[in-house]
Amino acid sequence: MSERAQFATKMGVIAASVGSAVGLGNIWRFPYEAGMHGGGAFISIYILCVILLGIPVIIAEFIIGRSTHKNANSAIKTLAPGSKFRFLSYIGIIASTMILSFYSVVAGWIAEYLFLSITGSLNGHTPQEYSEIFSSLVGNPWRSLIWTYLFLGANFLILRKGIQKGIERISNLLMPLLFILLIVFSINSLLLPKATEGLKFMFMPDFSQVSPGMVVGAMGQAFFSLSLGLTCLLTYASYFSNKTPLVRSATIIALLDTCVAVLAGVIIFPAVFSFGAEPTAGPKLVFEVLPNIFQQMPGGYFWSLAFFVLLFFASVTSTISMSEIFITFFTEEHNMSRKKATWLNTIIAIVFGSLCALSFNVLGDIKLFDKNIFDLFDYVSSNILLPAGGFLLAIFVGWIMDKKVVKEQLTNNGTLNVKLMKPIIFCIKYIAPAAIALIFLYVIGLFKHIEALFI
């Protein structure tokens, strides 16, 4: 393998990982998942998952990547020769390809909304009309396909031209702008007539609503939003320098990512209640609600344009990181040329992305477990594969890896004083794997059987 580059600055490390983490997961998926699962209780469990599972598993990925400076497959071969944990890299490739497929469909919707914003046709409609605009987009197979392909084409070009670093740099400049925009929008939402209803929905948890579906949804959302469990952050960490403080970086990434998601909620829910939308609307929620907000703001044209441009960049920095998992694996492990690997990744995403785009129209009747293809891809990758990957990563670092190496990584060879070292190792070793396993058992319904034995 050739000399691998390193991130030059502390900012570079955090910015690239935040670029991967912050995206449609925060702004599109978080509000709709929270809305479908009753709001406050979901959000509380989500935050608990970020703290108890998210941060420890980010640290686990960082430790593996940075201690070896290799991709997931070689890293595990180096740390534990002959171990079956190499399967982690297959989980990564399968999950990242599935996510890239449905994510590109949603990013395609963003691209079309950006286009509509430019032409001014997203202005001046009633809530009913906004809902129709979205239905006519997803209901039309050609429109959905074309925008998905355009997005995948942009992703391909960025990867092919080797300008992903450049895009990441631009997007690092733009991300603070996105953050500022979200703050402006949330202030605006807080002034809407039914803002308190929205805030109550988000922040007054009703724990009687807790269900297996909600808990696994919150865990899946935490993994999805943090780009976790599929060796994406492991791959990024393989480029970290030996000075990068792993615990601090992991905490900052989790904190920033969660702030963006909560801000998105503060924007969406007051508007949901004020404009008469349904919080349980699912994937279409944000697309139906947001245009109403821009519409009633002074200078709405400008706000919607700025928002969709920034969200587009946030989506691209996330899809680049998904594709990189695939490309790094095939170039470094199978000697494939970068060009071929990028083509392969894009062609697979075009095939599966098409199926996902068509599941809102011509393939709408194809359902498995009551889910269309798009929902199935989303559910299997986010709620099953990523937590399963996280489970294995935590077990690997907690139980298989040499403890000395783990400590050296956490403390940067003894140069850092990590106060929470013991609790962190405890979480990686026991809490994270046990919680993930228990949540899976809860979903399978095992607890019901055990309860039945005692009653």
Which residues of this protein are in contact with ligand PHE, per CB under 6 A? 20-21, 23-26, 96, 99, 224-225, 227, 230, 232, 318, 321-322
Which residue type, as a one-letter code, is found at position 8? A
- Residue closer to ligand PHE by CB (options 133, 327) is 327
CB of residue 170 to ligand PHE, shortest distance in Å: 17
Query: Whole-number minimum distance, CB 23 to ligand PHE, in Å?
Result: 3
- How is 374-414 classified by DSSP, letter by letter? HHHHHIIIIIIIHHHHHHHHHHIIIIIS-HHHHHHHHHTTT
SS3 368: strand
Nearer to ligand PHE, 21 or 271 (CB): 21
Minimum CB distance to ligand PHE, residue 423 (Å): 25
> By C-beta, is 54 or 56 nearer to ligand PHE?
54
Nearer Cβ to ligand PHE, position 17 or 274? 17
Contact in structure between 296 and 290 (CB atoms under 8 Å):
no
Smallest distance, ligand PHE to C-beta of residue 381, A: 8
Across-strand partners of 371? 368
DSSP 211: -
Looking at the Cβ atoms of 25 and 390, the one nearer to ligand PHE is 25
Closer CB to ligand PHE, 117 or 225, in the complex: 225
16 vs 410, beta carbon nearer ligand PHE:
16
Between the CA of residue 64 and those of 67, 239, 267, what are the distances in Å? 6, 12, 37
Q: Do the beta carbons of residue 356 and residue 150 sit within 8 Å? A: no
Distance of CA 112 to the CA centre of its chain: 21
Structure tokens at 383: 């709620």
Minimum CB–partner distance for residue 225 and ligand PHE (Å): 4
**Residue placing its CB nearer to ligand PHE in the complex, 23 or 65:** 23
Q: CB of residue 315 vs ligand PHE: minimum separation in angstroms?
A: 7
Largest CA distance in the chain: 64
**141 is written with which tokens?**
């197979």
**Which stretches of 140-211 are DSSP H helices?**
141-160, 164-190, 195-203
- Minimum distance, C-beta of residue 454 to ligand PHE, in the bound complex (Å): 40
> CA separation (Å) from 429 to 241, 246, 395, 403, 405?
25, 17, 6, 11, 15
The torsion region of residue 412 among left (phi > 0), alpha (psi -120 to 50) and beta comes to: left
Least distance from ligand PHE to the Cβ atom of residue 102, Å: 11
Contact 102, 356 (CB under 8 A): yes
Q: From the CB of residue 44, how many other CB atoms can be counted at a distance below 10 Å?
A: 15
Closest residue to ligand PHE in the complex (CB): 25
